[in-house]
Amino acid sequence: MIEKIFILTVLIEAVIESVKMFVEEFAWELVAAFVLGVGGVFLFGVNLFSLLGIEVVVGAPYDLAISAVLVGLLLVRFSGAANGLMDFLQNLKPGQY
């Protein structure tokens, strides 16, 4: 039970930070990450809630849509970190730690 509360806390934080990113700085990269996340959920039928073992009260057609929006927002939130990591790795020189 405690792990589900932790996961929901991380999701809520990611949603709030993603919305702030959209409001403060509009960038096409953020929109692309969101659209790809939502599209990927519908294309592959990945339901975030069922993967986490969380039962959603709203029902079958809506839980996938809510899951898609959340996954899109998670990708917006964490795509910057992944981008920063890739830039860091590309700028490393041989023998540099």
Q: Which residues of the chain have pLDDT under 50?
A: none
Give the pLDDT of residue 96.
60
Report residue 40 as tokens: 């990927």
State the pTM of this model. 0.64
The pLDDT score that the predictor gives to residue 95 is: 67
CA nearest to 17, candidates 97, 78, 95: 78
Q: Do 67 and 15 form a contact (C-beta atoms < 8 A)? A: no
What pLDDT is recorded for position 32? 82
Quote the pLDDT of residue 92. Answer: 77
Predicted pLDDT at 9: 83
